[in-house]
A and B are shown apart, each in its own frame.
Chain A
Amino acid sequence: EDQVTQSPEALRLQEGESSSLNCSYTVSGLRGLFWYRQDPGKGPEFLFTLYSAGEEKEKERLKATLTKKESFLHITAPKPEDSATYLCAVGSSASKIIFGSGTRLSIRP
């Protein structure tokens, strides 16, 4: 069964304290792994798409990496404005997009 699991559920960091969020997946034929940012009261905002193991993408303080079993979202020297829920989703060969339940990230000044 296709499945996406994100960990941790919640993460509190001090400003400048780097860390990583994990997205583990089981899917029949990966057609893309997506990272989204969601602010309270808003819709998910697209960050990255990764298609194959070994691929990496960067945007400001964020870097997403992909292996055959999981993806990491690395946050380097985060700022309070990086506080949000980060969602991971995978596309499968069955033409489905499956979302994880997200990681709530809080950055303290």
Chain B
Amino acid sequence: NAGVTQTPKFQVLKTGQSMTLQCAQDMNHEYMSWYRQDPGMGLRLIHYSVGAGITDQGEVPNGYNVSRSTTEDFPLRLLSAAPSQTSVYFCASSYSSRVGNTIYFGEGSWLTVV
């Protein structure tokens, strides 16, 4: 069972570079989201999608862009990387967008911006 798959696992970027974190799920889940996890701050929502073609902002969307062209894929783009974006990023999905449904997480992507 693949579940939620993220790539790459580790990435080092220079300030100002752009990159895309890939996320795919094989559970036919409607809802997908991206979180970042920083020490002492828990998980914070960046962007989310309630279905193909529909995306919306979370708590900390600045500097990130998303799209949802298919049900399976939800890539996260860093437009111009900054050291403040050094973090661990988690992609997550759930069966529906109704709050209360269980969220399943990927293994994480460790990003360092120098």
A interface residues, Cβ below 8 angstroms from B: 4, 31-32, 34, 36, 41-46, 49, 51, 87, 89, 91-93, 95-97, 99-102
Contact = CB atoms under 8 A, between A and B. Distances in A.
A89 B101 CA distance: 12
A43 B90 contact: yes
A43 B42 contact: no
A96 to B, nearest CB: 7
Given A87-B42, A102-B42, A95 B105 contact: no
Interface residues on B, range: 20 to 34
B102 A44 contact: no
B100 A87 contact: no
Given A32-B99, A44-B105, A46-B104, 13 more contacts: A34-B102, A36-B105, A43-B106, A43-B108, A49-B102, A92-B99, A93-B99, A95-B97, A97-B103, A99-B43, A101-B41, A101-B42, A102-B42
A33 B100 CA distance: 8
A74 B51 CA distance: 37
Contacts of B97: 95
Contacts of B104: 46
Contact of B99 (A45, A95, A102): A95
Interface in B40-72: 40-45
Nearest to B40: A101
Given A99-B42, A100-B42, A49 B100 contact: yes
Given A49-B100, A92-B99, A43 B105 contact: yes
